[in-house]
Amino acid sequence: MADDFLLTRAFIEAGGIDALVAKEAPDLQCWSEAERTASLDCIMRNRPPGDVWLFGYGSLIWNPTIHTVEQRVARIDGWHRAFCLSTRAGRGSAENPGLVLGLEPGGSCIGVALRVAEASAVPELTLLWRREMLTGAYVPHWVDLLDERGDRFGSGLAFTVNPAGEHYAGDLPEAEVVRRLATAAGSLGSSADYLFRTCDGLRLCGVEDAELERLAAEVRAEQAKAARGAAG
C-alpha cells in the first residue's frame, strides 16, 4: 500500500476503479455505466449559461486526472468541506474504513475552480463521473464560484455529500475521525496521505484551511504516538 500511488487518468479509463472496488469491497453496490450517464445527462441539461467549471475541495485540487484549461482559487457559500464519507476501498479497508472529504451544508469553502474546454466537456466529465460517481455517495450540484473579492465569475460542479447514503459518516466523534485518518489505508494510499496532500495543495494555491491544518496536526500526533508505542 504505497502512498505515492495516485489515481491516474489511464487507470480510470481502463475501468481500474470498478475493478478495485469489486476486489476490495465486493458487496458494495456500484452504479452502472447507464446510471452514471443518466446522472451526467441530467446535470448537463440543468447547466447554467457560461463555461464549465469544477469546484475542487479535496483530491481534485492535487490530482484532477481530467484535462482542464484554467485554474483559479474560488470560494463557494452554503457548503463546507468535512471528512464525512467512509471508504472501505482505495484509502481504507473493510476492517478499518478510511475517510475522504465531502461537502456538507452550511458555512463556506475555499478551493480550486478548474475550467474544462467546451469542446471536450462531455468526455472529460464522463471520466470524472467514473471516478466520483462510483456509488450514490455524492450528489453533484451547480454552485456559484466567487473570486477573492466575493464577485461571482461562473458556475461550477461541486460534489456534495449524500447524507442518506450508506457511506455517510458525518456524525462520527472527532476522536474517531482522527483515528481513522491516522490508521486507515488501502490500495490507493492512506487516508492520512489524502489529508496531507489536500493541505499541501491548498497551500500551493496560497490558501490555508485552519481546520484542515488543525486536523492534520492531530493526525500526525496520533501517528507519532502509535510509532512510539510500537517502538517501546
> Where in the sequence numbering do the catalytic residues fall?
132
Query: What is the number of helices (H) and of strands (E) in the chain?
Result: 8, 7
Query: Phi first, then psi: what are they for 118, rounded to 5°?
Result: -55, -45
Helix axes 33-45, 121-132, angle to 10 degrees: 130
Half-sphere exposure of 118 (CA within 13 A, CB side): 4
Give the number of other Cβ atoms within 10 Å of residue 150's Cβ.
8
**Of the candidates 84, 109, 59, which has an alpha carbon nearest to the alpha carbon of residue 181?**
84
Q: Which of 40, 48, 41 is nearest to 155 (CA)?
A: 48
Q: Report the C-alpha gap between 101 and 119 in whole angstroms.
A: 30
